[in-house]
A and B are shown apart, each in its own frame.
Chain A
């Protein structure tokens, strides 16, 4: 569950060997908690984007950003405020559902706009992509049927179109 201590950082990095290790070890060494992390190349193959949800108070957040910015391979860091960003996440869940319950589960999947990707005798595997809050709600509902296995990707985000220019707090200009 997201809390007020969660901040989403969108970090543009050079697409080089070991960059994720540098970021992860910096977090470990300075004692910052990572809540979730997603990483993949961008449209420009020279760069990757790491979306990190950090679990800190707001004052240490400045330190997190400043320390992160010192990594030579980190090109740009934006803090995305949830009100001003489009966030998405993907969830895969295998839910226990015998013949009696299967219809209920399928109905709920329909309501959330998910997809059944695998069906067994006593269980279903569902894929759901969407806003992290919706995924939280869905996960909670599925819990009552019995979650066999669950995997989430961690959130990714981009600034909302037309949102104020303050949406993405760009720290690149003042990097050290």
Chain B
């Protein structure tokens, strides 16, 4: 069967099982858009290529399947560099197809030419420039294989226009020839035995679960391991939902804005069982002072992560689920022999409970602060909402299994802190790169991947303004996502740092609560727009949004800009120097 390169490309995506792609056409990708008309693959027309990339990420986050984006050459390609980098940092499998100028024009500074493979080399797991149409099926098969196996990540395939137009004989590769790519899978038995030994001997152990638990679908195995050993679990920002927050062994999120117990448990631990986590600087704080008494078991599918930040006593290069299952098996005889009785950790459990009681998440109730912080006076405006309160109401009034997306900043940290994550793959956020503007398109991609689930995005007013145009996409495509803007009229996290570390010198962080008019803007984009200013209005607005299923909803929650994220470990400080909420500081003296 003779096909054009473009037809072969679309047929390859179909063969690969792609059901949806996010994209925006342009000159050099035009040939590929022609066969898309007949393809069963759903194409979602975005308003900016960055949106296509984040939608593909959101789709991949919630389905575990690779997200696909397709854009044109030059500016189309450069606009998707940020999502590629975001996916690279968070190990999200996405496949990006870019058009390229015809091969004869490459290197001539042709119209809309960019060195796409050169530009994206450092932000993809691998990329390909196709120079012959007969390579297309092979390259697409390789691209999906590389994106989804081993440590997942983004890949890019750059297809020159003449290659799309060239004729080729259709085939599908039966096997792949990638001699330099051999992702590990099973853990080495002797290392599992060593790890089991350390686990049985530990008296202050913590399981440090990272995003790799979700990527390898190891949540079930993690729960077995935790329950078998009685070891408490911290779930990093990328692993929220990998272990249920309601589980008695769950300590929640560690790190710069982690809760006191999760942070301090790691500091005081005698053993860290790191599963698919990478000792990110936001988790460790000052590395030399991080978990000083702990031995480390580090399981990661990426060998380069072992010893990159902290040298493990036992380093296991393996698939996280297979390694966790192997640990459970290796520990079973020890459990039977009574080596894993709960009493061995009794002191540790009591200590953790004490910290949890002393240092729960806390924020000032509006009544306590309105006079001083929000300028409420006779005839003045009502006190502004506490963002944490909005999140609590949202959390308690959305169905189980609701998917939560977020942007980056204070609202992201509050969302991670105050939500109750019970299921894997229900939290969609930008962890490593910290990409503002992630929430709206990522939520849209998530809803496309999981149309059965309710999808809420918690966004900041700064973030929302970066990618809000994708709500036009959502309206046009009938993708009913719901956006809660925590509108504090500031670039809030920057403001918090200027408050704490720059003597309250607020430089270029004020955004205004009314400009733009978020309700008017939402409605102009085909969404329902709501504004909420008082605590009494919060629940009715959320209830109303939950009822709307035929279009997106945007709620503009007017929140208190004075509110800060606590706890906080200042950048570069030791986790021992965690700053708790002011109301708890007196307890730090005698913890």
Could you list which residues of chain A lie within 8 angstroms of chain B, going by C-beta atoms? 13-14, 17-18, 21-22, 25, 29, 59, 62-63, 66-67, 69-76, 172, 174-176
Contacts and interface: CB of A to CB of B under 8 A. Distances in A.
Contact of A72 (B180, B301, B303, B307): B180
B303 A18 contact: no
B307 A62 contact: yes
Contact of A70 (B178, B179, B304, B307): B304
Nearest to B151: A176
A55 to B, nearest CB: 19
A63 B183 contact: no
A67 B305 CA distance: 9
Contacts of A172: 182
Contacts of B150: 176
Contacts of B180: 13-14, 71-76, 175
A13 B179 CA distance: 9
A14 B121 contact: no
22 contacts: A14-B179, A14-B180, A17-B129, A25-B121, A29-B122, A59-B307, A66-B303, A66-B304, A69-B303, A70-B125, A72-B126, A72-B146, A72-B178, A73-B180, A74-B180, A75-B179, A174-B184, A174-B303, A174-B317, A175-B180, A176-B301, A176-B317
Contacts of B307: 59, 62-63
B425 interface: no
Main secondary structure on chain B at its contact with chain A? loop
B183 A18 contact: no
B198 to A, nearest CB: 21
B179 A176 contact: no
Nearest to B304: A66
Contacts of B122: 25, 29
B302 A63 contact: no
B308 A63 contact: yes
B410 interface: no
A63 B121 contact: no
Contacts of A175: 180, 182, 184, 303
Given A62-B307, A73-B180, 9 more contacts: A25-B121, A69-B304, A74-B180, A75-B179, A76-B180, A175-B182, A175-B303, A176-B184, A176-B317
Interface in B306-321: 306-308, 317
Interface string B172-191: 00000011111110000000
A13 B178 CA distance: 11
Contacts of B179: 14, 75
Contacts of B303: 66, 69, 174-176
B129 A176 contact: no
A136 B195 CA distance: 49
